[in-house]
Amino acid sequence: MPSPFVRGLKCRLCGARYPVAAANSCAEDYGPLEVEYDYDAVGEALSREKIEARPFTMWRYQELLPLDDEPTVGLAVGGTPLIKADRLARELGVARLWLKNDAVNFPTLSFKDRVVSVALSKAKELGFTTVGCASTGNLGNSVAANAASAGLPAYILIPADLERAKILGTSVFGAKVVTVRGTYDEVNRLCQQVAEKYGWGLVNINLRPFYAEGSKTFGFEIAEQLGWRVPQHVVCPMAGGSLIGKIHKAFQELKTLGLVASAECKMYGAQAAGCSPISTAVKNGWEAHRPVRKPNTIAKSLAIGDPADGYFAAKLIRETGGWAEDVTDDEIRQAMYLLAKTEGVFAETAGGVTLAVTRKLIEQGRIPRDEEIVVAITGNGLKTQDAIADVVETPAQIAPSLEAFAAICDAPAAEPALV
Amino acid sequence: MPVKVQIPTPMRPHTDNLATVEVDATTVQGVLDALGSKYPGITPRLFDNGQLRRFVNLYLNDEDVRYLDNLATPVKDGDDLAIIPAVAGG
């Protein structure tokens, strides 16, 4: 039975409406399609109390996700911690700072589990029997794992130069992994051609309108975990430029439904200097980004040179009064290390990008030091260990003797000695 | 041998449901003009006031024409021009 909460698909440019189907582009102007809801119906079905009574997964906001029936894939996804990061806040010289930590999302340790569980549940509703995606790594991990648990064969197309952990972490689930000699943008273009030729359910291509909605749950959770209110500032990594918009959309939907009093929040975008089409557009006041042919950064999960949602991300940043910045590979490594040392959170390179940009925006005075800041941590450092290997201290190696230990130990021995 | 144009699914209602169309031209702009002459319904969907629409990408032999010479990029017999709506990634 069709969802009573979903009206259909709507073009983000011209507003043309379409029925629910595996389609991503408007037939009039090729603008991206987005799910349209009946917020009156959702409002009657949802309340804070109802949401709070449900299990703490992303599905507690089910009425705001585009499925006709109960979800069938990724039932345990979401419900990640919002950490009050006081030690990091002191380090950055700000009063109130939180980390929304999807580095521990289930099952594949990135926010992509949120989008994939919606996309694959929808793929099954639409009758697809083979699924796949183009990926910079995390999405591939998630599609492969969730497809395995759903018993769906999966094809994952990735750039050949991805981190070993991300390739292995896809292959292990039995997915057919295809490494392509080219940039992510070339992989994505190929994947669109594959979608047309083979009729598969490719989560970020023909299932994109449904897939992208899953990211809203990152924002719903932030607002609920803050006690049903939105923070004043959110800093978000940008690859394709979709997540930042969906977090803000989540806040707006909660406001529309009366679940939060205000949705006012300045949105900030973070990119790596080696691939910064959106932040460059924001800083130069361009309406649209200029694509980057050959991205070059350790933040490979963000290395999308031609982000199709870049136009919308730049517009959102301008309209909310936020800003965007980009940081060097060295700043990214230092920020990963700082986050780990102060908060015990090992984020992937994208997390280093987001924290380093946060620090830069605070130092520039763009983000005030006395207001509430949430930093989006979207992936896990165990997947990008090579990037930080040269920064962290090499462990001392000693013989198994107390004398050898004492020689390398900075701390004074306790008196009297514990014997 | 003319240039082969790949038509994306949402555009096919305007090309008699053909997935590929062959036209003769010397530049990418010329290819799109020739395509529009054969199938007039295409032109307003590709262009808005003479500008290529924001979410239309063009690939000449698998290379994005924005990294070549955009619409002025020369084409030759046997080339392949793919019209693909822009889709974000992950």
Domains of chain A listed by start with CATH number: 6-76+112-211 (3.40.50.1100), 82-108+215-388 (3.40.50.1100)
pLDDT of residue A1: 84
pLDDT tens digits, residue range A235-272?
999 999 999 999 999 999 999 999 999 999 999 999 99
CA distances in angstroms from A145 to A98, A150, A184, listed in the order given:
29, 9, 21
* Contacts with A89 (C-beta within 8 Å, 6 or more apart), sequence order: A95, A96, A97
Mean pLDDT of chain A: 96
Chain A: residue whose CA lies nearest to B66: A291
Q: Residue B68: inside a domain, yes or no? A: yes
- In contact, A204 and A155? CB cutoff 8 Å: no
Write the DSSP assignment of A341-364 as a string of letters: HHHS--B-HHHHHHHHHHHHHHHT
Query: In total, how many domains does chain B have?
Result: 1
- In contact, A107 and A146? CB cutoff 8 Å: yes
Structural domain that includes position B77: 3-85
Mean pLDDT of chain B: 93
Q: In the predicted model, what is the mean pLDDT of residues A132-159? A: 97
Phi, psi angles (nearest 5°) of residue A272: -90, 145
Mutate to test the interface with A, among B46, B55, B61, B83 (most CBs of A within 10 A): B55
A-chain residues near B51 (CB < 8 A)? none
Q: Residue B53: inside a domain, yes or no? A: yes
Helix or strand holding residue B60 (H, E):
strand B56-60
pLDDT of residue A417: 55
Q: What percentage of chain A reaches a pLDDT higher than 70?
A: 99
- Assign B89 a pLDDT band (cuts: 50, 70, 90): low
pLDDT tens digits, residue range A145-154?
999 999 999 9
Q: In the predicted model, what is the mean pLDDT of residues A331-352? A: 98
- Assign A416 a pLDDT band (cuts: 50, 70, 90): low
Task: Name the pTM for this structure.
Answer: 0.96
A73 three-state secondary structure: coil
Q: In the predicted model, what is the mean pLDDT of residues B2-31? A: 94
pLDDT tens digits, residue range A166-193?
999 999 999 999 999 999 999 999 999 9
pLDDT of residue A375: 98
Cβ contact (<8 Å) for B90 and A24?
A: no
Amino acid at A10: K
Q: Which residue has the higher pLDDT, B87 or B4?
A: B4
pLDDT tens digits, residue range A277-323?
999 999 999 998 999 999 999 999 999 999 989 999 999 999 999 99
Distance CA A272, CA A261 (A): 34
pLDDT of residue B88: 65
Per-residue pLDDT at B25 exceeds 70: yes
Per-residue pLDDT at B1 exceeds 80: no
User: Which residues in chain A (84-113) have CB-CB distances under 8 A to chain B?
Assistant: 112
Q: In the predicted model, what is the mean pLDDT of residues A197-209? A: 95
Q: Which of A198, A156, A153, A161 is nearest to A178 (CA)?
A: A156
CATH number of the domain that B59 lies in? Answer: 3.10.20.30
Q: Is the omega angle on the peptide bond into residue A19 within 30 degrees of 0, that is, cis?
A: no
Q: In the predicted model, what is the mean pLDDT of residues A340-344? A: 98
Q: Which of A138, A151, A129, A121 is nearest to A211 (CA)?
A: A121
pLDDT of residue B90: 57
Task: For chain B, say whether A292 makes contact (Cβ under 8 Å).
Answer: no
In the sheet that holds A201-202, the strands lie side by side as A176-180, A154-159, A131-134, A201-202
Mutate to test the interface with B, among A9, A13, A24, A29 (most CBs of B within 10 A): A29
Q: Which of B71, B32, B48, B83 is nearest to A28 (CA)?
A: B48
pLDDT of residue A418: 56
CA distances in angstroms from A178 to A156, A383, A412, B10, listed in the order given:
6, 19, 55, 27
Helix or strand holding residue A380 (H, E):
none
Task: For chain A, say whether B86 makes contact (Cβ under 8 Å).
Answer: yes
pLDDT of residue A196: 86
Task: For chain A, say whether B49 makes contact (Cβ under 8 Å).
Answer: no
Per-residue pLDDT at A36 exceeds 90: yes
Chain A: residue whose CA lies nearest to B13: A27
- In eight-state DSSP terms, residue A379 is B
User: Which residues in chain A (210-269) have CB-CB distances under 8 A to chain B?
Assistant: 239-242
Q: Residue B90: inside a domain, yes or no? A: no
Q: Residue B34: inside a domain, yes or no? A: yes
* Contacts with A180 (C-beta within 8 Å, 6 or more apart), sequence order: A157, A158, A159, A160, A186, A187, A190
pLDDT of residue B43: 94
Q: What percentage of chain A reaches a pLDDT higher than 90?
A: 95
Q: Given A205, A291, A311, which is nearest B87 (Cβ)?
A: A205
B-chain residues near A293 (CB < 8 A)? 64, 67
Q: How many residue pairs from chains A and B have C-beta atoms closer than 8 A?
A: 104
Per-residue pLDDT at B22 exceeds 60: yes
What are the tokens at A144?
């492969």
Q: Residue B31: inside a domain, yes or no? A: yes
pLDDT of residue A414: 77
Q: Given B8, B66, B89, which is nearest A304 (Cβ)?
A: B89
Chain A: residue whose CA lies nearest to B87: A308
Chain A: residue whose CA lies nearest to B85: A30
Q: Residue B76: inside a domain, yes or no? A: yes
Prediction ipTM score: 0.92
pLDDT of residue A101: 98
B-chain residues near A308 (CB < 8 A)? 55, 86-89
Mutate to test the interface with B, among A9, A11, A12, A25 (most CBs of B within 10 A): A25
Distance CA A232, CA A191 (A): 38
pLDDT of residue B65: 96
- In contact, A277 and A307? CB cutoff 8 Å: yes
What are the tokens at A286?
């361009």
